[in-house]
Amino acid sequence: MNDHLTKVNDCWNTIGTWGDAVPRCERLIDALHCINCDVYAAAGRRLLNRNVPQGYLEEYGKRLSAPITEKSGAVNSSIIFRIDDNWVALPTTMLESVLETSGIHSLPHSKNQVILGVVNVAGELMVCVSLQRLIGRPDLDSDNEDVRDRGFRRKIVITADHCQWVFPVDEVLGMHRFTAGDAEKSQHYSGIIDNKYVKGIVNWQQKPVIHLDEDRLARTLSGLRI
């Protein structure tokens, strides 16, 4: 097998979307995300076109012929997004849509700092809330959420307790499937999210993803007063 077909410069894990090195890749200015970059696409083509290693077909045949073992727990689909530096997940059963960033119209005389205002979603005005302030730890200051660059900001529309809510997030990663046994309750979580909203934590691609307790979140949203 030719080595030059399998060795790729995975710049997306260092200076790209999934990396934390600085300075960031200058291509992100135009591409916005590594999945839109021709370097990322070319690396994928090289991996797909590489020669089959010796013994691969035999090993793959054995796996296909092996008895199927069922995973414990139901498989659930979740949408993963980022709040500040934390990756968070909610069931896709709550998800209505993901929107581009748009203006938020403030509500006069509103003193509730969790409620950011209202946004226009397909001609309908919906309440926009700060999820970080809503479920953030009360001992941490979360009022600086709009100060620094947030990267690929989006707005997520969810349905909770028969009402629709909108909240801004710093990045949307996409939808992924987990089994019920994948999420383990962490008694030692000490991030920005109040632990009572943490249903479990999944180690996904070497990153902890916090699964929120959707029932508690729905109850908290229903108790908001505009």
More confident: 210 or 4: 210
Question: Residue 144: which pLDDT band, with cuts at 50, 70 and 90?
Answer: very low
Q: Sign of the CA dihedral 19, 87, 166, 97?
A: positive
- What domains does the chain contain, in order, with CATH numbers? 3-65 (no CATH), 75-222 (2.40.50.180)
User: pLDDT tens digits for 120-140?
Assistant: 998 899 999 999 899 887 666
**Section 61-80 average pLDDT:** 77
When comparing pLDDT for 206 and 15, which is higher? 15
Q: pLDDT tens-digit profile of 14-67?
A: 999 998 888 999 999 998 999 999 999 999 888 888 888 888 888 888 888 888
What is the average pLDDT score of the chain? Answer: 83
What is the C-alpha to C-alpha distance for residues 165 and 153, in angstroms, rounded to an integer? 17
d(CA 119, CA 129): 10
Q: Is the predicted pLDDT of residue 147 greater than 80, yes or no?
A: no
Q: In the chain, which ranges are continuous DSSP H helix? A: 28-31, 38-48, 56-65, 131-135, 214-222
Q: 175: closest CA among 71, 93, 100?
A: 93
Running DSSP on this structure, what letter comes out for residue 68?
A: P
23 DSSP 8-state letter? S
More confident residue, 145 or 207: 207
Q: Which of 69-78, 183-192, 217-226 has the lowest mean pLDDT?
A: 183-192
pLDDT given at position 206: 80
Alpha carbon 211 to chain centroid, angstroms:
10
Q: Is the pLDDT of residue 1 over 80?
A: no
What are 89-120's pLDDT values in tens digits? 999 999 999 998 888 888 887 788 899 999 99
What number of other Cβ atoms are within 10 A of residue 204's Cβ? 16
Distances (CA, A) of 113 to 46, 83, 139: 50, 17, 16
Q: Distance between CA atoms of 83 and 182, rounded to whole angstroms? A: 21
